[in-house]
Chains A and B, each alone.
Chain A
Amino acid sequence: AQTVTQSQPEMSVQEAETVTLSCTYDTSENNYYLFWYKQPPSRQMILVIRQEAYKQQNATENRFSVNFQKAAKSFSLKISDSQLGDTAMYFCAFTTHGGGSQGNLIFGKGTKLSVKP
């Protein structure tokens, strides 16, 4: 079975500091895609960053970066210079490349991040 595990139900960080959210996954596939989504109180899932499994280079999007360890099946998210607007639920997710079809997303249970002033 394909699973995603987020071992930190809640985390907090001071504004302007750095925080790392953990994610591990399990799949027998070799070709897949990993994502971090942010869900603020508005409920909409917002894509934060994505990583293609065949790329060894870690993805970076402004203050957000990932540490992708394929052998360990680990995909952590680092948020630098945390801002109050980063307060939200963060979900790790992955999907496999199903040929001509779109793979469905498999989500972890989420980490609730609070950024404190």
Chain B
Amino acid sequence: TQLLEQSPQFLSIQEGENLTVYCNSSSVFSSLQWYRQEPGEGPVLLVTVVTGGEVKKLKRLTFQFGDARKDSSLHITAAQPGDTGLYLCAGALEKLVFGKGTKLTVNP
């Protein structure tokens, strides 16, 4: 049983489109972290959200933590080919538990 359900698993869009990735769980997390990973590399932290209802923006990326701290979303506005990669959400308990990731491809 996957503790964190991440969707969609694959996403292929055209440059300039918007997209949203979802991360859902029945567990309450002390924080939730989003990472981006390139092939053959380790995950690179994008953001940590801690407070229920919190919204953080990182240029064209908007991250939201659910009010109950069980779910989160990542919205990308006007996607660019450089956004291509594997996006991972991870909820913090005693350790991080990961979703399966969303493989995003942005086509020029």
Q: Do A and B come from one complex?
A: no
